[in-house]
Amino acid sequence: MTVVNAMKKMLLMLFLAPSLVFALGLSQRFLDYSGANEFTKDDWQLFYKTELETLNDTPNGKQHPWHNSATGHGGYFMPLATTKHEGATCRSLEVYNTVGHRSGKETFEYCKVNQVWRMANPWGNVVDTLTKRT
């Protein structure tokens, strides 16, 4: 490899790396803006419990709310669609949170692999096991 080619590859990597990090972080960044960065441990426990209940039991189009009366924080999960992808059940899930005067809504993709729900990244790869978050 010539020095020029090595420099081109390095410049390309320097250019693409921030874009990749940005794209990977987009799916979770809404939590910061929705006030979820102010969630307590109890808020997160209710959030994750409701997330799993919704993925397992809630029909498409029906909101499954959660609310922590101690903090006033809450929101809902709502499945938008259920599909099959390479043998796995996948669901699009709308997530809405509110903390004080801040709120945020985003849609995420989840797939159930080996009886465990996992969040998929924007490219459809499974990246996060929900049961390991508690």
Task: Tell me the pLDDT tens digit for each residue of 38-90.
Answer: 899 999 999 999 999 999 999 999 999 999 999 999 999 999 999 998 888 99
- pTM comes to 0.69
Domain boundaries, the chain: 26-132
Q: Which residue has the tokens 């960044």?
A: 29
Q: Are 12 and 4 in contact (CB under 8 A)?
A: no
Contacts of 74 (CB under 8 A, 6+ apart): 65, 66, 67, 68, 97, 98
Q: For the segment 84-99, what is each residue's pLDDT rounded down to a tens digit?
A: 988 889 999 999 999 9
